């Protein structure tokens, strides 16, 4: 079997910063360390941090007053920040700066009296956080049908924002539908879909026509990993999401001579390497690394762990 390794793949700068932040917090502060939401959407990563004593919560009521608490890469609503202050928590904010940008845009449009249409996935940690910036001024859409059903009080004062990990094609189609429905709609000065999401999807588009099947290492709750699998399926090949080699089904590989392998933006390189080793051992695979865009972006760690 030939295995084509997509590039770029795996952890983006925002996830790397968040992982490093939580790792430093474990070293610098007395246990236990709490984390509001999963630091990044990777079951393997979460299991490793839990073994190191991190306690992940989805509600601050489960965090003792004054405890050290890290906010995940996905960002939080202002109401969560306010509750953290009331409970006198030591907060270390590991929100990805590209997500913070969307929060700023939401506040800006809300302050101008705009109705904000957020294109995103209902219930995703990032979407919940952004909508919390202007709950009275914001509406979520996921499909073209959602856009058709929209009733905007003042069609001349409407703006759109997007979740950072959307599929490019889906986002483009939904934005075009909004622009057709609301000719005066405003948008962010620069698109919200992050560079890493775009680069990984472009690599999948380039390599999917050469493959019989695609494997995406990434957890089911990872939006960007789900989008990578969707890109491959657009080229008529089966694509499966796995947490690691142990969750792969051997029946998938029957008749597959060329496999495309990538990893979502929450997946550390060691997990990718472990999957490559498994493919070599199980299928005597010949591995081919394909060049892609170099990612040189790095985000600074929060002050609380920058020592």
Decide which of 181, 205, 235 is a domain's last residue: 181
Strand order in the sheet with 213-217: 239-242, 213-217, 258-263, 2-5, 286-289
Predicted local confidence at residue 115, as pLDDT? 97
In a domain, 37, yes or no: yes
In a domain, 295, yes or no: no
Distance CA 195, CA 205 (A): 15
Instruction: Specify whether 220 is located in the same domain as 277.
Output: yes
Predicted local confidence at residue 189, as pLDDT? 87
Instruction: Specify whether 71 is located in the same domain as 21.
Output: yes
In a domain, 63, yes or no: yes
Distance CA 67, CA 87 (A): 9
- DSSP codes, 168-225: HHHHHHHHHHHHHH-TT-B--SS--S-HHHHHHHHHHHHHGGG-SEEEEE--TT-HHH
Instruction: Specify whether 238 is located in the same domain as 168.
Output: no
- Which of 44, 81, 105, 126 is flagged as catalytic? 126
When divided into structural domains, the chain yields a total of 3
In a domain, 268, yes or no: yes
Instruction: Specify whether 121 is located in the same domain as 134.
Output: yes
126 noted as active-site residue: yes
Instruction: Specify whether 117 is located in the same domain as 172.
Output: yes
Instruction: Specify whether 106 is located in the same domain as 165.
Output: yes
List per-block mean pLDDT (blocks of 10 residues) for the chain, which spans 307 residues: 97 96 97 96 93 97 97 97 97 97 97 97 96 95 97 96 93 96 95 92 97 96 94 97 95 97 94 96 96 92 92
pTM: 0.92
């Amino acid at each position: 079997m030939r295995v084509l390794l997509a590039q770029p793949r795996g952890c983006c700068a925002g996830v790397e910063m968040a992982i490093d932040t939580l790792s430093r917090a474990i070293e610098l502060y007395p246990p236990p360390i709490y984390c509001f939401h999963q630091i990044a959407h990777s079951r393997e990563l979460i299991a490793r941090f839990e073994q190191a004593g991190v306690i992940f919560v989805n509600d601050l009521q489960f965090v003792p007053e004054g405890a050290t608490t890290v906010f995940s890469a996905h960002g939080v609503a202002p109401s969560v920040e306010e509750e953290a202050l009331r409970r006198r928590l030591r907060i270390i904010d590991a929100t990805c700066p590209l997500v913070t940008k969307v929060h700023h845009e939401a506040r800006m449009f809300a302050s101008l009296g705009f109705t904000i249409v957020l294109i995103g996935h209902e219930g995703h940690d990032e979407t919940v956080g952004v909508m919390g910036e202007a709950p009275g001024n914001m509406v979520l859409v996921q499909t073209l049908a959602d856009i058709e059903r929209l009733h905007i009080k003042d069609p001349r004062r409407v703006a759109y924002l997007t979740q950072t990990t959307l599929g490019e094609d889906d986002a483009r189609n939904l934005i075009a539908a909004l622009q057709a429905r609301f000719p005066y709609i405003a948008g962010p000065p620069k698109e919200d879909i992050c560079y890493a999401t775009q680069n990984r999807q472009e690599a999948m588009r380039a390599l999917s026509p050469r493959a019989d099947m695609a494997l995406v290492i990434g957890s089911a709750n990872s939006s960007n990993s789900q989008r990578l699998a969707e890109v491959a399926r657009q080229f008529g090949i089966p694509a499966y999401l796995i947490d690691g080699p142990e969750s792969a089904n051997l029946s998938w590989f029957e008749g597959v001579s060329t496999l495309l392998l990538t990893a979502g933006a929450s997946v550390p390189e060691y997990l990718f390497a472990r999957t490559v080793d498994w493919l070599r051992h199980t299928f005597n695979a010949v591995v081919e690394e394909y060049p892609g865009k170099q990612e040189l972006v790095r985000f600074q760690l929060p002050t609380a762990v920058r020592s």
